[in-house]
Amino acid sequence: MDEETNLLKPENYMRLQFASRSENESFARVSVAAFITQLDPTMEELTEIKTAVSEAVTNAIIHGYEGRSGEVRLECRIWNRTVEIAVEDDGVGIEDVEQARQPLYTSRPDLERSGMGITIMENFVDEFMIDSIPGQGTRVRLRKVIAANRDLEQ
């Protein structure tokens, strides 16, 4: 079976849909963490995934909807020890994705945001993809392989 087929038929998956409220960020982060425990990730792997999810959801809430109410959709899929997470909103979208990917760039300096969310996501996962259409929304995809058969740490 090729990788493309595996992407279409995950071994396991979950979907969440929630209001774009900041208090739901922890719900999303903890839900993904609980779901991926079936792969027995290291504490480092788990922390990296939780942090990346936190950043993606926070960006959808703060930047996607800019204070308006909306909905965030999250999907987590597992296949061959790979975790793929998609976070999607129907918000304002990103005018210039390349500019948004620059460290320290923020579209909301009024909120004293650090501008490091995308950089953090890129550094904590194996693959980071972002698709955005101005006026229609943004979809962030995070992919990370969870190591198997680790030696016991000494």
Residues labelled as active-site residues = 55, 59, 113
- Look-up of token digits 């550094």: 123
Residue 34 gets the label, from left (phi > 0), alpha (psi -120 to 50) or beta, of: alpha
